[in-house]
Amino acid sequence: LPEIAFAGRSNVGKSSFINSMLNRNNLARTSGKPGKTRTINFYIINDEFRFVDLPGYGYAQVSKAEKDKWGKIIEEYLITRKNLKEIVLIVDIRHEPTSQDLIMYQWIRSYGFTGYVIATKVDKISKANWQKNIKIIRNKLDIKDTNLIIPYSASKKINVEYVWDGFTSILGIEKDQ
């Protein structure tokens, strides 16, 4: 099955993003506790495609050994997935991406993926600040095409349809959600 993977710092809102896209409440476990998801979670949707939830990174209280393990898990995943169509980076629109976000993003690009970025929690800032914050993200991640950064809100369901349009074409599936 074709699949799209999601990467992001822990607690960025990745689970909420996946749940909101799928209109579920608890398919992907959300929690206030960062650093919880340690394995890759696969969600098979309608026997048609997969969403892949990569373990969140950047949790401060994680040992070097665990960080190395994280890298191994992801690398192993990447080299074995033939049907991986995109890896989408999730960031928090309120904050400048971290250096780990940058590493992750450069890594995604180096594997030949487009480099879509979901800037989530957009409901937490005023609309007047959207462009300003998107520009900060764009500069930090060195993104040429600003359209690659998509403002999003899981709680207010902002841009759910827009992102689905992109995903259905990436996955090569019919839209019926």
Question: Which residues make up the interface to ligand GDP (CB under 6 A)?
Answer: 8, 10-16, 30-32, 56, 120-121, 123-124, 153-155
Contact 41, 53 (CB under 8 A): yes
CA dist 13 and 126 (Å) reads 18
Please state, in angstroms and rounded to a whole number, the distance separating the CA atoms of residues 133 and 150.
Answer: 11
**Residue among 25 and 31 whose Cβ is closer to ligand GDP:** 31
The nearest distance, CB 14 to ligand GDP, in angstroms, is: 3
Q: How far is the CB of 9 from ligand GDP (least distance, A)?
A: 7
Residue 174 Cβ, how far from ligand GDP at the closest point, in Å?
A: 27
Q: CB-wise, 6 or 113, nearer to ligand GDP?
A: 6
Q: Closest CB to ligand GDP among 43 and 173?
A: 43
Nearest distance from residue 144's CB to ligand GDP, in Å? 26
Q: What whole-number distance in Å separates Cα of residue 150 and Cα of residue 166? A: 11
| CA-based radius of gyration for the chain | 15
Q: Which is nearer to ligand GDP, 48 or 69 (CB)?
A: 69
Token pair belonging to 72: 């191994």
Half-sphere exposure of 66 (CA within 13 A, CB side): 14
Q: Residue 13, class by beta-carbon neighbours within 10 Å (0-12 exposed, 13-18 middle, 19+ buried)?
A: buried
Q: Least distance to ligand GDP from the beta carbon of 172, Å?
A: 27
Residue closer to ligand GDP (CB basis): 115 or 151: 151
